[in-house]
Structure 1
Amino acid sequence: MMSNTSEGDFKRNRLFFEANQAFGFYHPKVAALKGHIFLVESLGASWVIKGYDDEERALRQLNIAKALKQEGFSKGLTYQRFPSGKYIVYGQGLYWLCMEQLQKRREVHFRSSKDRQGVSELLHRFHKEARQIQSLDLPAYALLSHWERRFDRFTKSHSLSQFNEALGGHTTKALLKAGDEALDRLQKEPLREMEKKAVRQKQWIHRDTASHNFIIISENQYYLIDFDLASTGPVGYDWLQLATRFLPWLDWSFAALAEEPYFAPYMDQSWFLAGLLYPSDVYRDWHVSQQKKSHRSIQWFLKMHSFEKRLRFIADVRKTLG
């Protein structure tokens, strides 16, 4: 997706990439994709260039890709040397990586049962093969503290009254209650022990299982990209997040989710059910819609979520929890 970058910005980007000899580009054509991500074409070749504000983060992405490939996980990103021969180039306050351009055949969409299955199989394979990696340690992820911060930010937001006005008092109260109840239940679950075990067992999680982070380059050939949030943690955390991505396309049906491959082992685990109560996506999307530079509006937010079905789903989860 092209960003709303002005013609002047495009010219400055081209001049930057051309002038910095550390890249090694010759008269490049530059297109902004999003954020600090650019498509660069030069001498008949094309690359995707991504900038990081921290050298350690850039190096971690490079090492993640290398480690996964060494273990046989070929369905992820491959980083390449710049034409200059360097893997990481510093410029304009950012550390830049160069990756292969994967040619998408079509978009992945979770409304498709075939795509849900393909994505699930790929995520399972990522978890399995990442466990073999002993040479690289990723930051440990603590789910409860992350969700507590998100809930606190949401409840203290100056726009909460606007949220209440858009959704109505009943729905607002129900979503706040669900979040509070989920956190209360999760505090009683052995999440810390699970997370420590995950560190010992070298369990990796992706942590951003949105559909746009899966690419189809040919029929049945799914790729997993964007490991910026990759961490050490229980693999069930990825399945919990993916469940909230699938559920809008499963009509928020608890029974339908249980029938999806790879979810069955979690459907009777109390921590997973408590996690399903927590409307993390609602809090996140509302926050995004309130950002000044965001192209996402309140209308987008309301269109994205089916609150009546969501509240029925929450009731079903509560019934299962007892």
Structure 2
Amino acid sequence: MVIIKELHLVCQDIKRTKAVTYKGFYRGDDTFYYRLLSLLEKKFSIKINDIRRIRKNVFLIKSNDFWFILKGYSSYRKLKVQETFTKALEQEGFIQTYQFYVHDEPIIIDNMIYGCIQYLYPNRTAFTYKNEKHRKEALLLLTHFYSVTEHLVNIYQYILPPFRIMDKWQMRKDQFLRNKELIEKYIDPFIVKEIVSFAEQSLNNGQNSSEFFQSKPKVVLHGDVAHHNFLRDVNGQLFLIDFDLISIGPAVIDYLQYANRILPHMDWSFEELERMPIFSELLQEETFLSYLLFPTDILREWNRFFRQWDGRNPESLQQVIHLTLDQYKKRKKFYDKVKRLIKE
């Protein structure tokens, strides 16, 4: 792994023999691009051949020697939390993630603080929740992650916020209700009513869940277990990436979110979920079952749609409609089974 001493440039200008290419930029970005290139040239003793925007404030930098990720943070504190956390993971034995190339003086452009991250060369076979083996492998990686972060709680409980799932979901439901009349223009009002009912039942059943969560050991939660935060490298090893949403809480919160992520790829099969490690025990817990009733993906995506939609992208509307209706019968069958188990 290249360390920052190998990157640091002391008062030397780089003469390129090959033009630099840049992709993913938009009209009007030229000034930003040249400023970024100039800063990189002054700091690193490498010949930069390509700068590619991956998403907002995240860039892939390619040189002759190696590639790295440049990621922007809104404050120096946020960057340092990420740098120290990934380093702490490595020191505690969790090596299935990237490391930062730490520099005394970070790159600052337009009030964003940029950190340099090790690039993980991806495998040709991408990780997917559609694959049963991949799902189980990711679950084992998360379990390993929590076994390590449990030892970091004493330090990070003073740095990271607690995860308050009830507050988050209550806000999500309230926002969905504010958009309810608009949603009913595209979705059968009866289905919308059912979705709200599932959310309210989940929140009502979970109101007395503090004892359930307090009985579980606290860990540093990942906070976003979407499939794109698992990456298989060129050697076939699975990595966990992107710790922007880390917080403090019991691992069961991330397991709950993981279940919500994978169920659509399992045809909402309760039996298949029950056969997986961890969930075979959690599905015996009434509180966990209650939280499984919350249709978090539907509420999240409709709220995001109305927050971002400008009326010019009909595809985004079709996507959220498809998410809601495509597996609705299977989802409802799953929820009905969960409700029966809660009553037993």
TM-score normalised over the length of structure 1: 0.89
Alpha-carbon shift at residue 277 of structure 1 (Å): 0.5
User: How far apart, in 1, do the equivalents of 2:330 and 2:139 lie?
Assistant: 24
User: How far apart, in 2, do the equivalents of 1:177 and 1:320 lie?
Assistant: 17
Q: Which has the higher contact order (CA 8 A, sep 6+)?
A: 1
Which structure 1 segments of 5+ residues have no match?
Answer: none
Aligned to 1:176: 196
Judging changes above 3 Å, is the alpha-carbon distance between structure 1 residues 259 and 69 closer, same or farther for their aligned structure 2 residues?
Answer: same
Name the amino acid aligned to 1:183.
L
Secondary structure of the structure 2 residue equivalent to 1:320: helix
Aligned to 2:335: 314
Secondary structure of the structure 1 residue equivalent to 2:233: strand
Judging changes above 3 Å, is the alpha-carbon distance between structure 1 residues 151 and 23 closer, same or farther for their aligned structure 2 residues?
Answer: farther
| 2:89 counterpart of 1:68 | yes
Aligned to 1:121: 140
CA radius of gyration, larger in: 2
Aligned to 1:141: 163
Contact preservation (8 Å) 2:169, 2:296: yes
User: 1:141-290 residue pairs with structure 2 within 5 A?
Assistant: 141-157=163-179, 160-190=180-210, 194-195=213-214, 201-218=217-234, 220-290=236-306
Aligned to 2:316: 297
Could you list the per-position Cα deviations for residues 130-180 of structure 1 after superposition, in whole angstroms to 9, with x for gaps in the alignment?
Answer: 1122443322111111111111111112xx223223220221110000111
What CA RMSD, in Å, does the superposition of the two structures yield over aligned residues? 2.3
User: How far apart, in 2, do the equivalents of 1:43 and 1:13 lie?
Assistant: 23
Name the amino acid aligned to 1:233.
G
My pick for the range that moved more, 27-36 or 250-259, is 27-36
Partner residue of 1:110 out of 93, 106, 129: 129
Contact preservation (8 Å) 2:218, 2:251: no
Contact preservation (8 Å) 1:37, 1:50: yes
Could you list the per-position Cα deviations for residues 32-77 of structure 1 after superposition, in whole angstroms to 9, with x for gaps in the alignment?
Answer: 0011100112453321010011222211111110110110100012
Contact preservation (8 Å) 1:185, 1:274: yes
User: How far apart, in 1, do the equivalents of 2:267 and 2:333 lie?
Assistant: 10
Name the amino acid aligned to 1:247.
L
Secondary structure of the structure 1 residue equivalent to 2:265: helix
Name the amino acid aligned to 1:190.
S
Alpha-carbon shift at residue 241 of structure 1 (Å): 0.3
Identity %: 25
Judging changes above 3 Å, is the alpha-carbon distance between structure 1 residues 7 and 165 closer, same or farther for their aligned structure 2 residues?
Answer: closer
TM-score normalised over the length of structure 2: 0.84
User: How far apart, in 1, do the equivalents of 2:136 and 2:120 lie?
Assistant: 21
Name the amino acid aligned to 1:208.
D
Secondary structure of the structure 2 residue equivalent to 1:20: helix
User: How far apart, in 1, do the equivalents of 2:138 and 2:23 lie?
Assistant: 26
User: How far apart, in 1, do the equivalents of 2:223 and 2:23 lie?
Assistant: 24
Contact preservation (8 Å) 1:49, 1:96: yes
